[in-house]
Amino acid sequence: MIAGTLLRRIATRGAAVGGRLPSVNAARYFSSNATFDVEGSFETHMLDTAPETTVECSKEELLEMFELMYTMRRMEITCDNEYKARNIRGFCHLYDGQEAVATGINAAFDPEDSWITSYRCHCVALARGGSVSSVVGELFGNIDGYSRGKGGSMHFYNKANYFFGGAGIVGAQVPVGAGSAFANKYKSKPGEKMNVSVACFGDGAANQGQIWEAANMCNLWNLPMIFCIENNRYGMGTSIDRHSSIQDYYKMGNEIPGLRIDGMNVLAVKEGMRFAKEYCGSGNGPMYVEMMTYRYHGHSMSDPGTTYRNRDEIAFTRSTKDPLEFVKKCLVDAEFMTADEIKDMEKKIRKDVQKEVLKAKESPVPPHEELFKHIFATNLEPRSGGIEYPPHIRMPNYENSFWIDGKKE
């Protein structure tokens, strides 16, 4: 089903225009709410409750989500073109088709909730405080890029916005995400809800041992951790039925409860992640969340994406489950915008993305001294006879060591 059913629409302000009640069309220009049916978007494992089957959304919220998702789509298409023009080199993993996942998570989360993801991270970086020019500039390797031109496609990071990056090694981000969940619990005040941590990873990483080790620790310690599998059905170029003995990834946590969400429906993602955040942040421990999604490009730019799946499959998904078409239908059905107004908005976003790309191209490459920053400690002043270390790090006790100057006593 391409879109959730519109249940009702309620105007919340601007009840009169020129002393009379507005027409349906006039009401579109005022703040209003609509309620959408997302029944059938969720499956649960070991949970007594489930997300709501209806989602209320204001015009502003829906427009904000569409603007972000369409910007993501245009940015990734631009990255594809710039890569083919050889302006982007190295690895490049595009996210188009999966925009509803990042956008829905961002809509459900508080700014202080922690987020770490895989190397398919451009759009998460954009959602978490980035701009198109900073994202694309990073891919160009320029100084004004998201990571000052030193990270490239797989390494974005924004500590100020609690985005702890994309990880270049498959599954390596998950234990780090568990560490941020531990920090969130450690810093929380008794009786108050905790900020949560989410680690996103693909179905190809889901069977890694390091993920289960992290899940075991999170469950033992009741950490506010969400293990989010973005199941785009192909681990690199191998379908899930060939690379995994279990395809119900939301059940992989064994004793950890799980939730499967329609990852092509941004409203379902928002509601499902709101539910997960509420559950985990209330001290109930971790949760496995599986997003059923789909990538339109291949695994990376070196993968045409059509050797292990046919073009008809991609075309069918685009025509029946595209996440942007879902939001556009919601906007029209709720009478928030007309189809022509949406087209005008799309044109503006395309122009804005083009301007941002030109801005990124004007940025110079980093000077050579930039390569040596953020590597070594900047403060080596002695403290108590030794090197300055953060006070919370426990250093080794060399006095108790058997080895002194390379000789065993």
List pLDDT tens digits, range 350-392: 999 999 999 999 999 999 888 888 776 666 565 555 556 556 6
pLDDT, position 158 = 93
Q: Give residues with Cβ within 8 angstroms of 232, minimum separation 6.
A: 97, 98, 202, 203, 293, 294, 295
Q: Residue 344 domain-assigned?
A: yes
Tell me the residue range of the domain where 311 lies: 5-372
**What would the mean pLDDT of 37-56 be, rounded to a whole number?**
97
With respect to residue 54, please indicate whether it lies within any of the assigned structural domains: yes
pLDDT at 143 over 90: yes
* Structure confidence by residue, pLDDT tens digits, 173-208: 999 999 999 999 999 998 899 999 999 999 999 999
**What percent of the chain shows pLDDT beyond 70?**
85
In a domain, 382, yes or no: no
What are 276-330's pLDDT values in tens digits? Answer: 999 999 999 999 999 999 999 999 999 999 999 999 999 999 999 999 999 999 9
The length of the chain in residues reads: 409
Residues 6+ apart with CB under 8 A from 194: 184, 185, 188, 224, 280, 281, 282, 283
Rounded to an integer, the average pLDDT of 210-227 is 97
251 assigned to some structural domain: yes
Output the pLDDT for position 385. Answer: 54
104 within a domain of the structure (yes/no): yes
How confident is the model at residue 373, as a pLDDT? 80
Within-domain flag for 380: no
| Domain CATH for 241 | 3.40.50.970
Residue 381 lies in a domain: no
List, for residues 224-258, the tens digit of each pLDDT value.
999 999 999 998 999 998 999 888 999 999 899 99
For residues 329-339, give the mean pLDDT.
96
Number of folded domains that form the chain: 1
For the chain, first and last CA: distance in Å? 74
Task: Please indicate, yes or no, if residue 184 is contained in any of the structural domains.
Answer: yes
